[in-house]
Structure 1
Amino acid sequence: MSNINIQAKKDRTYDAIVIGSGISGGWAAKELCEKGLKTLVLERGRNVEHLKDYPTALKAPWELPHRGRLTLDFLQDNPVMASCYAVDESTQHFFVKDAEQPYVQKKPFNWIRGYQVGGKSLVWGRWTQRWSDLDFEANIRDGIAIDWPIRYKDIAPWYSYVERFVGISGNKDGIAHLPDGEFQAPMEMNCLEKHFKKSIENRWSDRKLIISRTANLTEQLEGRGPCMYRDKCARGCPFAGYFSSNTATLPAAAKTGNMVLRPNATVASILYDEEKGKATGVSLLDASGKSTEEFYAKIIFVNAGTLNSTALMLNSVSGRFPNGFGNDSGALGHYLMDHNYRASLGGEHEGFQDKTTFGRRPTGVYIPRFRNIGDDSIPDFIRGYAFAAGGSRRMGDYSEQLLGAPLKAARSRPDVWDLWMTGMGECLPYAENKVTLSSDKKDPFGLPQLEIDCEFKENELQMLKDILRTGREMLENAGFINIYASDTQKPPGLGIHEMGTARMGRDPKTSVLNAFNQVWAAPNVFVTDGSCMTSSACQNPSLTYMALTARAVDHAVSELKKRNL
């Protein structure tokens, strides 16, 4: 009997385990497998295969039962999920319905999730900006929270490494605090965006408008792409014109023969050997939530997404870690951040009536941070914000009461140009913005529900006022009319950039992870998704997650070879 048990354990033992298959988990899988490690990738959701499992990717609006709109019943049953900008009838199958994975909102927080192979990499916004030392040094400069344990020079080569594989279209703009990267040819601005750029840069020397740096391919790369300018990315792209785990990193991992991918596998806890002082594996539940299995590995990468990774660590208690895995500092679960996207702005422009556009470019334009940089200083708040924006020309006049062919003709005529803008404000890391495990509420798997207690505070709200003011002044300066600039009152979570809760740092007394994303007290466990972030900056964060993951794998394999793990 003992021989059978030994064999069973051997069959469930790998060199590495990756928990999660989204943006960072896909990168962990690719890098580990390409470095020769037999790797088990665990995904709590269903399998999604490229091409096969994109049911709406090629459907026209009239082929969808409700022409793309969500039904009233669906909206009533899923107020959190349906609040996400990317959810409609053609994409809702890639998002978690509210009743499937409940959680507790101590304060309003809309947690948007995608449980399937590929995670939210199937539906992400694809904007990819590097950070600079303006961001990595911000905490120590302002005396806020703790210092990052890395600087731009530590991650710059990994940004380049990731960008070359992902395929980032963009322009080299020479902005010091928004470093240039390894870019494919940029997408082109339309005439209204070019006008807006000229208006801003002629009026303000410290403000720039650039084409977004985005993970949509303008050139074919390793058999992927190019982008077909359909702007249906969140349905899954049959042309692999954008980056996702399903089109890029997971196929690269599978190609090595070293990956075992297991969907419908919810990890309940990380196993820890107190004598060895390291993690030994994971305990997981199957799709029914009733069956428990254990798998073992030399190293473990936790990439379940910020809040799920933290929930897993909080649930992984033992004699050594009574307050959660690696939580000697007490920081685990604290310092939750999300970007403040509450500002909504825009307006109409009466010019350019002789011009229109062709195709649906899947990205917009970007105004990098200009507040509290160099000679610019505002006393009302620290840090800064960026703007995303985009111009387009409407088709048709909705005011005409027409039917049939006259309606079609009217709707086919180009109408006015308009431009939208949204601010992306940095959120500071506050200890009281936190997540904990419920003592009495369980999810459908019998695991404790996550309790989220998070809000934007005075610094974010003062910043929001400035976002609305400067956005309006730029629109007015460019001659827009019917301008709107409003606070949408959207709660945290809808930025879908949740970060923090298992932060990196220089001291195990104040942080959960070291400079290589290792858990201080269990160095064979690496956490490289958004939970590792020490501050939020005001750039889209996924590129940084990917770079940190590739860097951490390189370090992990090096340490394995030295027999330090």
Structure 2
Amino acid sequence: MNLNIKSAQLRTYDAIVIGSGISGGWAAKELCEKGLKTLVLERGRNVEHIKDYATTFKTPWEFQHAGFNTEKDLAEDPIQSAEYNEGNKHFFVRDKAHPYIQEKPFHWIRGYQVGGRSLTWGRQSYRLSDLDFEANQQDGHGVDWPIRYKDIAPWYTYVEQFAGISGQPEGLAQLPDGDFLPPMEMNILEKHFRERVKQRFDGRCVTIGRVANLTRGWRGRTPCQYRNLCSRGCPYGGYFSSNAATLPAAAATGNMTLRPFSIVSEILYDKEKGRASGVRVIDAETKEVIDFYAKIIFLNASTIGSAFVLLHSTSDAFPQGLGNTNDLVGRHLMDHHFKVGAMGDYQGLDDWYYEGRRPTGIYIPRFRNLGDAASKRDYLRGFGYQGYGEREGWMYTGLTEDGFGKSFKDKLLRPGKWTFWLGAWGETLPYADNRVTLDTTQRDQWGLPLARVAFSIRDNEKAMRRDMQHSAAEMLEESGFSNVTGFDYNYVGGECVHEMGTARMGRDPKTSVLNGNNQLHAVKNVFITDGSCMTSSACQNPSLTYMALTARACDFAVGELKKGNL
């Protein structure tokens, strides 16, 4: 990469994209394919597809610690080590190198590299419905979404047809079907559970997880190999990531310039023109400050990162941060609360097994508060379940039971009992004091203020959690499981890695940051399509919605640019 930083002309592009994760990669692809010379800025190192997946083929015995974390990892990375292991540690930041302040407990999981967390995400891909888009208006929590399902439905289809989402159509209003590749197959116990739940519980559906893993060759990428080592980077392109899919598509146009090690400190604002003129970058390695310029800017630095950039982009016109005329930037931080559910054992089906390591489990869509009396409960919104059935292997018995010789080794080769795990993911309401701010005194190694994060769940979520645990246990018991045990592992905000909501969309500039096209109300050539744009959290995994909103906003932005409105 050659950049002449002395020439403003050579530092001027049609578009700048800040961030290269799931939404940033989509912005890069869409803008480049529409003919815009686009600069993609990534604060971390470069990661090239296949070449930089250093651990992808390693076996456990090739790691120094058999793939597990050490006491040193836990001590030095108390936040990130909850998510990483020895095989993917290099795709997560070091806590000490990237500090932030937990005003209230919040685990900020980060991956600073080209591709961001698209390399390590869980790949569960679900559409939101009008049950979600209308929820704020219906119950008065938060502001009304400026869009409805009909506005985003064609864009869901558009991104599914490129990303490749495998799944089973179910015809549910609360979880719209997508444009699916063939579904992965449930194992025999999961099929049993599906049928028993269908028989015993009206309105509950057990389906295979809808996941961004390919079940057949797709757009030059190879089908999933059922290794379930996705978070190490997939050399086959068997799951969707920026590195395997969108960034190569952007690069193929010849219109993308990718610049890693580029920390965006602020968006530059031209008061006379009433537009953003570009961005200010700190080189992560040299700490040199460089300005880049563009006609439109897509801010996709992730929820907390994007709030940080806006809050730090102060000027005479925006003393509280770019577009922050109403003190809403950074507020209404949301996550999905989880780590609650039930597990149980199943007696029988001993002559059945399965093969491979399928990279998804089962999913039970929301069945609470759907608008009818039967599903209504004493809390707002709802939750869905993810889970799986499996047979215990040698790790469950061989490490805890005594033995030696041929009979003991034969025992280790025989599968153990069937077990089932069922965990819930619940919606968190938007609360104004769940927020991100900038600290006024503490700074990082680049001289930037530290982010302060305050987050907590409230009575509504706590009431929901009781139902999440009870309903999971109830379904397992009614399906013939024994030793059913409920669990609640004291969720801490951020642990789900579904943070969203700090620059929400809305209809009124007085009560929201972005309009229905993800356009900053106060600065029309700045668009934000990562998780920060979310007006409510729903209970579904959100990344597919970020993809669809990004493609939609890019189409709008380029159209406005051609009309001369930007």
Contact 1:342 1:487 (8 Å CA) reproduced: yes
Q: Equivalent residues in 2 for 1:482-521 (5 A)? A: 482-521=483-522
Q: Equivalent residues in 2 for 1:117-516 (5 A)? A: 117-288=114-285, 290-373=287-370, 374-396=372-394, 397-398=397-398, 399-403=400-404, 407-516=408-517
Q: 1:289 to 1:407 in 2, by over 3 A?
A: farther
Output the CA distance in 2 between the equivalents of 1:380 and 1:64.
50
Output the CA distance in 2 between the equivalents of 1:239 and 1:377.
43
CA shift, 1:378, in A, is 3.7
Identify the residue that residue 39 of structure 1 maps to in structure 2.
Answer: 38
The letter for the 1-side match of 2:373 is D
Give me the CA root mean square deviation.
1.3
* Secondary structure of residue in 1 paired with 2:175: coil
The letter for the 2-side match of 1:558 is G
Contact 2:344 2:482 (8 Å CA) reproduced: yes
CA shift, 1:403, in A, is 4.4
Identify the residue that residue 113 of structure 2 maps to in structure 1.
Answer: 116
CA shift, 1:7, in A, is 7.5
Contact 2:368 2:377 (8 Å CA) reproduced: no
The letter for the 2-side match of 1:118 is G
Structure 1 residues not aligned, in runs of 5+: none
The letter for the 2-side match of 1:83 is A
Contact 1:269 1:284 (8 Å CA) reproduced: yes
Output the CA distance in 2 between the equivalents of 1:297 and 1:524.
9
TM superposition score normalised by structure 1: 0.97
Identify the residue that residue 59 of structure 1 maps to in structure 2.
Answer: 58
Structure 2 residues not aligned, in runs of 5+: none
The letter for the 1-side match of 2:317 is R
CA shift, 1:375, in A, is 3.0
Contact 2:104 2:454 (8 Å CA) reproduced: yes
Contact 1:289 1:445 (8 Å CA) reproduced: no
* Secondary structure of residue in 2 paired with 1:8: coil
Q: Which whole-Å deviations, capped at 9, do the CAs of 1:238-259 have from their partners, x for residues lacking one?
A: 1110000000000000000000
The letter for the 2-side match of 1:442 is R
Identify the residue that residue 8 of structure 2 maps to in structure 1.
Answer: 9
Contact 2:214 2:222 (8 Å CA) reproduced: yes
Q: 1:112 to 1:407 in 2, by over 3 A?
A: farther
Q: 1:73 to 1:149 in 2, by over 3 A?
A: same
Contact 2:265 2:281 (8 Å CA) reproduced: yes
Identify the residue that residue 28 of structure 1 maps to in structure 2.
Answer: 27
Output the CA distance in 2 between the equivalents of 1:104 and 1:293.
27
Q: Which whole-Å deviations, capped at 9, do the CAs of 1:157-216 have from their partners, x for residues lacking one?
A: 000000000000001111111111100000000001001111111001111100111000
Output the CA distance in 2 between the equivalents of 1:96 and 1:318.
31
Task: Report runs of 4+ in structure 1 exceeding 6 Å deviation.
Answer: none
TM superposition score normalised by structure 2: 0.97
The 10-residue stretch of structure 1 (372-381 or 448-457) with the greater mean CA deviation from structure 2: 372-381
Query: Size of the alignment, in residue pairs?
Result: 559
Identify the residue that residue 86 of structure 2 maps to in structure 1.
Answer: 89
Identify the residue that residue 550 of structure 2 maps to in structure 1.
Answer: 549
The letter for the 1-side match of 2:386 is A
Q: Which whole-Å deviations, capped at 9, do the CAs of 1:264-298 have from their partners, x for residues lacking one?
A: 10001000000000000000001236210000000
Output the CA distance in 2 between the equivalents of 1:494 and 1:541.
15
The 10-residue stretch of structure 1 (481-490 or 41-50) with the greater mean CA deviation from structure 2: 481-490
The letter for the 2-side match of 1:276 is K
Identity of aligned residues (%): 57
Output the CA distance in 2 between the equivalents of 1:531 and 1:41.
19
* Secondary structure of residue in 1 paired with 2:417: strand
Identify the residue that residue 541 of structure 2 maps to in structure 1.
Answer: 540
Q: 1:66 to 1:298 in 2, by over 3 A?
A: same
CA shift, 1:230, in A, is 0.6
* Secondary structure of residue in 2 paired with 1:415: coil
* Secondary structure of residue in 2 paired with 1:440: strand
The letter for the 2-side match of 1:99 is K
CA shift, 1:406, in A, is 5.1
Q: 1:216 to 1:395 in 2, by over 3 A?
A: same
Q: 1:257 to 1:205 in 2, by over 3 A?
A: same
